[in-house]
Chains A and B, each alone.
Chain A
Amino acid sequence: MKAIAKQIKLDMQRFSGAGRTWIGVLIFLSAPVIGILLNLVMALTGNDGDDARTALTGAVAGTGIGLIIGLISGLFVDFNNAAIRLNGLLSITRDHQVFGRYAAVSLLVLVQSCGYAIFYFCVADAFLQGQDHWRATVLFTLGLFMSESLLFAVAAPLFYWLEMAKAMIAFLALLGLVPITALVGSWLPFDWGAVWNSIMRFLTSDLWRPVLLGLAVILAADMVSIAISRKVYARKEI
């Protein structure tokens, strides 16, 4: 446990450029804060229609996901550098380095999602119309936390395995598969509307159900991802 805690501390330092963790947190929270301010301006100028606010929500969430990709590459920047040797001299085994990094990223993503939750709570109400606002906020937060965790779960093994640039290309290529899959899926003779309706039904049923499912999905994805990362990192020459 101690070694994992060390790795979390180390990654927090790496994330923030060493010694200034609060700057990192600020960067993370800047998007929702700017979003809230923008929303305020929009409300004052009377431009806060549903569409505008949905667009703003999308922009802020997109920024958040972009920041996560930045975070991933930032944490792995040592791998492209002589600084990777720091990993070889510290008293943290490679397994613990992997565990600690997943924990650190989960923590950062959670903090970030909570920051975005405040933004969402203040700004949006377009989603799940007619439902209570708290539920929508929780689901939005969960959605962001889940999608970012899944992104990291996909990316991390690539970064442990490949050189930085190659890992980034592979990761972006995998991301590119998502819209293609969606496109192909929409062509299939399948009643997507019914699927969407059942999803909405599930989300608007008891709140604990989607939350539990979301956390279970994250946990499962991380378990698989950690297993692969451990394996490829153990073989790496640093």
Chain B
Amino acid sequence: MCASPAMTTSGEDVDYALRVSDLGKSYAKADGTGFRLHQVTMDLPMGYIMGLIGPNGAGKSTLIRLLLNMTHRDSGAISILGRDPLSQEEEVKADLGVVFDSIYFLETWKVKAVEPVMAPMYPSWNSDRYQDYLRRFGLQENRKIGKLSRGMQMKLMLAVALSHDARLLILDEPTSGLDVLARDELMDILLDYIGDGRHSVLFSTHITEDLERVADFVTYINRGSVFYTGPKDELMEAFQVVRGGPDDLARAQIPYLMGLQRSATGFEALVPAERLKDFLASASPAAMEPSEDRYLVERADFDNIIRLTAGSPAAADKNKEVES
């Protein structure tokens, strides 16, 4: 039924752009505070786009830094384009294009300084292509990098990332600071980039609209753990949002929901699609109307899913309130 990546390559062995298994990293402090990335596992087949979503501080950037050896993993394994980034770091990084959430050049440099610095770093540097991107993005060579807007700085990094024939793009929050037009342009560039099936993209974002259209796969990280990883469409079908009045949620329905937000005017619950029937069936019988009409049931988008699951402990607290 579902379009699994294996089907798209018609049964051949799938090449992976990125494989992560049981990755762990702890910044835990003695007093129990701190941050922990826990048993992260995900696979990105070659030729596809994967979105990395989750609330701020969930561990998206830490994961990206781990992929790049910028920080050291405590446990687990990473394979990038079939290679181990620890033992074959230089080969791996030659094939990577990276865009960080803020500029990685000194702000005192001018735009024109970037090419003489970066060209010798990549044997496959394509100067014509780089110049094309500068023109296309409207980047002026004489501007100081620090004076560029965030969006322009991102475009400068993107121009570099796209000009040395990288096989995998890793983009950390590339769309923050971009307007709608620029985000559309970026999505076009990414789809064009993976067009030949040999290039792949991993990008983290909190602007989930971008992802909902172009991402093939999604990894949702919540509080340091993977909540979901797999085809995007499956995640989008996995949940329904049920909305109802303040008194329409019965205690018997609580076990069927995965996230809950209450307000004075009503509630909003995230219900796994396969439990929706049970959820509706266990509505309080005191109500006269049939339960289908009492509730507004809609497909959950990423924002709903993140919003209703992100504060898991908070949601649990609210569940207690309902029960008391």
What is A's interface to B at a CB cutoff of 8 Å? 3, 6, 9-10, 13-14, 17-19, 77-78, 81-83, 85-86, 88-94, 96, 235, 237-238
Contact = CB atoms under 8 A, between A and B. Distances in A.
B9 interface: no
Main secondary structure, interface of A, reads helix
B90 A3 contact: yes
B262 to A, nearest CB: 40
B116 A18 contact: yes
Contacts of B103: 82-83
B70 interface: yes
A9 B122 CA distance: 12
A186 B66 CA distance: 54
Contact of A83 (B93, B104, B110, B112): B104
A19 B116 contact: yes
Given A88-B70, A237-B71, A78 B106 contact: yes
18 contacts: A9-B120, A10-B121, A18-B109, A19-B112, A19-B116, A77-B106, A82-B102, A82-B104, A83-B104, A86-B104, A89-B93, A89-B96, A91-B90, A91-B122, A92-B90, A235-B72, A237-B65, A238-B70
Interface of B: 65, 68-72, 89-94, 96, 98, 100, 102-110, 112-114, 116-117, 120-122
Nearest to B71: A237
A91 B94 contact: yes
A86 B122 CA distance: 13
B70 A85 contact: yes
Nearest to A234: B72
Contacts of A238: 70-71
Given A3-B90, A88-B68, A90-B121, A13 B116 contact: yes
Nearest to B69: A88
A129 B282 CA distance: 105
B73 to A, nearest CB: 12
